[in-house]
Amino acid sequence: MSLKTIFIITVATYRMIFPGLSPVVPQPGTEVPRPPVTKSLTMELYSDRPADAQCKAEVTAPSGLKLDGPAKLFIDLKRKVSSSAPASKPGTAEEVFINKAYWGCSETVPEGQPKITKSNETGNNNASAEDRNINSLPSNSYAFWPGPDSKPLHENAATPGIYTLVTNYCGNTSVTLEQEQNFLDTIELINVPKKADLDKAIKVTWKPVPNALAYVVNAYGGSGNVSVDWTSGSDPAAIANIEVRPVSKEEITKLIEKKALLPPEVTSCTIPAGIFKGSWSVFLTVTAIGADKVEMKNGIETRVLVRSVVSVPLAGTTYKPMPDENEEKNE
């Protein structure tokens, strides 16, 4: 069996809503603190070839990325990949955790939901052997950029151009990012409840993101040993880990047809009423999926992922709502 090397470039736009910052687009003429936006390009190199202290890996990036020189990947020599879960101590009772999974945009819980899984039951086997093989990563060595001492990207950085990877242990390759692999715009939420009533349906709306090919919305909550998760997709297994794995335009089309992904013209989704009732906290993410790319060259598989993500707490550790005009007048 030939040794495998995978080079991953992730082009991402992130916005995380913190307490005290409004999650929605402010009205014209109003001065409201806006959550910070982070644009990042990360590079990861996974290989079946082991690395030692003499190994080197660097990427020459296009001038539009505005780096001071080649991006020198940090080779993590301490990274260890566990082959199995640690065994529980004999004579001790293992605590059972319960997961309740819901799916689909709807005001009420569809029939047949939730799917309940206990931690002491057999793991999820929904993914096919072929899918698990495609998405598995080599584990004998790992390198990444930016490293601990790297500077943030310039605010006007652009990703299109040729990226040339050179190493002295797992080969060389290059990949061209087109304009469709440039940073996606920030996801702007335009309808998030200030105080989410977990007994009622929660509708989330956002502005369209140019060049986004699809959207997926997720929410997470729970309490104690019970976790609750929900996804907008009608087939959770089909979009498992889609936020962090490459997806072709052809696959996106098929997933939209089966309602596993939201098409680019759909910019709202409703979380069914009551599924997070009793949760200590609830967290929401909206992900826009751009034009990913996968190619094989010089024996190295290169994956390019393009994403824009916004995250906001809905309950528990929720943001502090900005005061209404009427509230300000009454003070």
316: pLDDT confidence band, cut at 50, 70 and 90? confident
> Would you say residue 151 has pLDDT above 90?
no
Say how many C-beta atoms besides its own lie within 10 A of residue 59's C-beta.
23
Cα distances from 277 to residues 216, 217, 226, in angstroms, run: 22, 19, 12
Q: How far apart are CA 328 and CA 198, in angstroms?
A: 27
Is residue 167 left, alpha or beta, with left meaning phi > 0 and alpha meaning psi from -120 to 50?
beta
324: pLDDT confidence band, cut at 50, 70 and 90? very low
Chain segment 74-123, per-residue pLDDT in tens: 999 987 544 444 555 555 567 899 999 999 999 999 999 999 999 876 54
Q: Please report the pLDDT score of residue 120 as a whole number.
A: 74
> Would you say residue 17 has pLDDT above 90?
no
Q: What is the DSSP letter of 275?
A: T
Give yes or no for a contact between 271 and 197, defined as CB atoms under 8 angstroms apart: no
Full-model pTM: 0.85
Q: Please report the pLDDT score of residue 161 as a whole number.
A: 99
For the chain, give the mean pLDDT. 86
Higher pLDDT, 34 or 65: 65
Q: How far apart are CA 44 and CA 302, in angstroms?
A: 10
Residue with tokens 């013209």: 265
Q: Please report the pLDDT score of residue 18 as a whole number.
A: 57
Q: Considering only 84-93, 194-203, 268-277, which range has the smallest mean pLDDT?
A: 84-93
Q: Considering only 77-86, 233-242, 274-283, which range has the smallest mean pLDDT?
A: 77-86
Q: How far is CA 36 from the centre of its chain?
A: 17
Helix (H, G, I), strand (E, B) or coil at 11: strand
Q: Which two tokens stand for residue 261?
A: 């992904």
Q: Stretch 290-305: mean pLDDT, rounded?
A: 98
* Closest listed residue to residue 126, CA positions, set 267, 260, 247: 260
